[in-house]
Amino acid sequence: MDGEQYRVVDVSGAPDGDWIRRRILSKLCIPEQSMSQWSIYPSEVGAYALGGALNDRRLFVHCRESGDPSGSLKLFVSTSPDRPAPLQAAAFTKEAFPPMIDRYS
């Protein structure tokens, strides 16, 4: 959410992209009623979005193909692809962390 802090989210055994999306957003303490306002983007350390928002199918494939046990897959979560979430949008979280997928098998 801020491009600098990261959260590990284990999505091992995920059945689909919707499950992965909900798991990531839940880990960030984003309320279910607000989840539709947030998008998940491919990213790298210190970057915001690298490419377009991932729909559920693309998120699932991206995690399956790029995820590994060492946590090399990074994702950026925001309401906008080119900047951190506005403070008021992130106010309901204790800390703002873009998720890092640490494993997917």
**Domain for residue 1, yes or no?**
no
**What would the pLDDT profile of 5-35 be if each residue is shown by its tens digit?**
788 999 989 999 999 999 999 999 999 999 9
**Domain for residue 97, yes or no?**
yes
Q: How many domains does the chain fold into?
A: 1
**What would the pLDDT profile of 33-89 be if each residue is shown by its tens digit?**
999 999 999 998 878 888 899 999 999 999 999 988 888 899 999 887 666 665 444
Residue-number span of the structural domain to which 62 is assigned: 7-103
First-to-last C-alpha distance (Å) of the chain: 25
| Continuous H helices in the chain | 17-27, 56-66, 87-90
**Domain for residue 35, yes or no?**
yes
CATH assignment of the domain containing 55: 3.10.20
- CA dist., res. 50 & res. 94, Å (int): 26
- pTM for the model: 0.74
